[in-house]
Amino acid sequence: RTGRPRRADADAAILEATRDALVELGWSKLTMGDVATRAKVAKTTLYRRWTNKSELVVDAVALLFDELTLPDRGSLAADVESVVLQFAALLERPETKTALMAVVAESTHDAALRTRIRSSIVDRQKRLVLEGRTRAQARGELPTESDPATAARTSDLIFDVIAGAVVHRALVSSEPIDEAWARDFTQLILVGLTAVAPA
């Protein structure tokens, strides 16, 4: 055995303490020591799990993204609108907004951090696209692609379009994402630019 086994309750306390510290202190003032104090664990406990605060913050925010679900609303359009509104609500939470913007900024000069963001957040959330596409194909709303490589590229593109638009509107433009916006955005995705009639 190399060290003590990980405890789920300790991990949960650490990740919650990390999010609280981010909201209160911001990225620049947050330290591993502060998180350890808030979580009531030894600093060595943190370093056995995470080598630095970038990894810790990514995992803390990834846990929030794992809360996203895709309940069956009966149609592809309703499913897309639902996940867009869920995603927007998640980005409105101070701990998500602070953490996400901080790690993205840090990742511009840290390749390892970019890789961790991709594996811990982006790749894990692509499950929603795969689930939604499978459901829509079963309903006959979308065609089934026989080539796995083509299907994977399509799923990646869908994810990039939806996630990119929501993140940009919520965190860059700071514009509201309400039911009307989600409906218009979904219509644009489903029918395309040339089929959108002027209001």
With 0-12 / 13-18 / 19 or more C-beta atoms within 10 angstroms meaning exposed / middle / buried, residue 141 is middle
Give 95's contacts (C-beta < 8 A, 6+ positions apart): 19, 20, 22, 23, 60, 61, 64
pLDDT reported for residue 198: 56
- For residue 75, pLDDT beyond 90: yes
Task: Give Cα separations from 21 to 34, 99, 155 (angstroms).
Answer: 8, 10, 35
- Number of helices (H), then strands (E), belonging to the chain: the values are 10, 0
Q: Tell me the average pLDDT of the chain.
A: 90
Q: Which residue has the higher pLDDT, 25 or 7?
A: 25
Residue-level pLDDT at 4: 46
- For residues 173 and 91, the answer to whether their CB atoms sit within 8 Å is no
Q: Which residue has the higher pLDDT, 4 or 174?
A: 174
Whole-number Å distance between alpha carbons of 42 and 72: 43
The answer to whether the CB of 137 falls within 8 A of the CB of 129 is no
pLDDT at 3 over 50: no
Averaged over 62-68, what is the pLDDT?
Answer: 92
* Domains along the sequence of the chain with CATH: 8-51 (1.10.10.60), 62-195 (1.10.357.10)
Which amino acid is it at 165?
Answer: A
Quick one: average pLDDT of 51-69?
91
**Residue 132 pLDDT > 60, yes or no?**
yes
End-to-end CA distance of the chain: 66
Which percentage of the chain shows pLDDT scores above 90?
71
- Per-residue confidence (pLDDT) for residue 154, from 0 to 100: 93
Q: What is the pLDDT of residue 157?
A: 94
Tell me what the mean pLDDT of segment 80-88 comes to. 96
Q: Which amino acid is at 115?
A: T
Mean pLDDT of 181-193: 93
Q: pTM for the whole thing?
A: 0.84
Residue 2's pLDDT is 43
According to the 3-state scheme, what is the secondary structure of 102-165? HHHHHHCCCHHHHHHHHHHHHHHHHHHHHHHHHHHHHHCCCCCCCCHHHHHHHHHHHHHHHHHH
Tell me what pLDDT residue 133 has: 94
Tell me: pLDDT of 105 over 70.
Answer: yes
